[in-house]
Amino acid sequence: MRDHDKNAYLLGFASTQQKLPEREQPLPIDLTRVQTPLLGLMVDAGTDLSGSLAADRRVRILPLTIQWPGKTVLDRGTAEIRTVSRQLSHERIRTAEVSAPSVQALSYRMHPNLALNFDRLLLLATHPALIQASQSVLRMLHEHEDEISLLRRERQLDPHYAADVVDTRSLLSGPALLVRLLLGTPECLLGDLPALARRATELAQHTEVWLAPGHPGDLALTLGRLDQPELSPWVQGCSPRLTQIMYRYPVLCCRAGRFDLVSRTNKWKTAAASVIEAAAQAIAADQLHSPAIQISYDGSLRELREWPEMQRLKQLAAERAVKLHVTHMSLGGRVWASAGSLSLALLRKRG
């Protein structure tokens, strides 16, 4: 990429992001929370949230640790981290590993304000075969349980603080789509954590995440290191075997937590077009459980929107009142899916 093209790309990316503070910030205390608990949603930094969604006062991002040989970065999902990640080559991304943050790091960055800013917290966890970062949050809250109760009493809040975890059984754009759908539900607005957890669990059963990896060999290497049997269809589908030389770009899918290889092609653009076409077919066949589609792309969103396939999808979505949400891929997402990838999430009707 030429220098002026690269600069224009980075500026265009930065314009879609909003800066987020490094540490959890305290919100003004609202005493009406005694009657209507304030409920927050948390996803990890590997979720492909847009800047505007991440800036919502009811949404929090759980940091993840990204490690390269000789370097460690705490990915907080901020615009700065994502902008830096744009400049990392796929060779650099391939050597990275994603892990859960330590309880001590979370205590410094999120405690105690996280426990004061919400009365209920629902963690929408990425597929456990990839990471189990939500357990760090639960341990942090448990270790500070007495302190949290005391602080909440001092603020005239209900001393009881509740947190729950829902396994979304998806990744990348999947949890981001669930956040969008859950924020506007009555359960979320009323602060009803058990009911919202049930709603999230039900939606997770309908969630499909489609992926066209930009560098299949990188995905096979990264996910293969995790040594998780559930990931085998993706790992094997991306492994650079001799039989795959002519058709090295797979179309992958994760349906309700099950990883599958859908097809294979000889060009990445064809694989990406197949992902977009899967969403178009779901709309045309009236198969969407919820009228929303989430797309994340590790590339220029401006160019993506100009693709003929995207233009057709946009037109069809407008005709059927389906909302399209397009955002950049997170740093953790780039590591898991490989650089230059396209991810799409939708909720499909059963049967």
What's the CA angle centered on 166, arms 225 and 29, to 5 degrees?
Answer: 120
pLDDT digits (tens, 9 = 90+) for 120-142: 999 999 999 999 999 999 999 99
Binned at pLDDT 50, 70 and 90, residue 16 comes out as very low
Q: Does domain 3-204 have CATH number 3.90.1330.10?
A: no
Q: Map tokens 């399209």 to a residue.
A: 324
Dihedral sign for Cα 25, 28, 31, 36, please.
negative
> May I ask the CATH class of domain 207-347?
alpha beta
- The amino acid that residue 338 corresponds to is S
Residue 21, pLDDT score: 52
Mean pLDDT of the region 201-206: 97
Residue ranges of domains in the chain: 3-204, 207-347
Residue 85, pLDDT score: 60
Q: What is the DSSP letter of 133?
A: T
Q: What's the predicted TM-score (pTM) here?
A: 0.88
What's the CA angle centered on 189, arms 183 and 190, to 5 degrees?
Answer: 145
- For the chain, the straight-line distance linking the first and the last C-alpha, in angstroms and rounded, comes to 46
Binned at pLDDT 50, 70 and 90, residue 14 comes out as very low
Tell me the average pLDDT of the chain. Answer: 88
- The amino acid that residue 109 corresponds to is R
pLDDT for 23 beyond 80: no
Residue 75, pLDDT score: 83
Whole-angstrom Cα distance, residue 192 to residue 122? 10
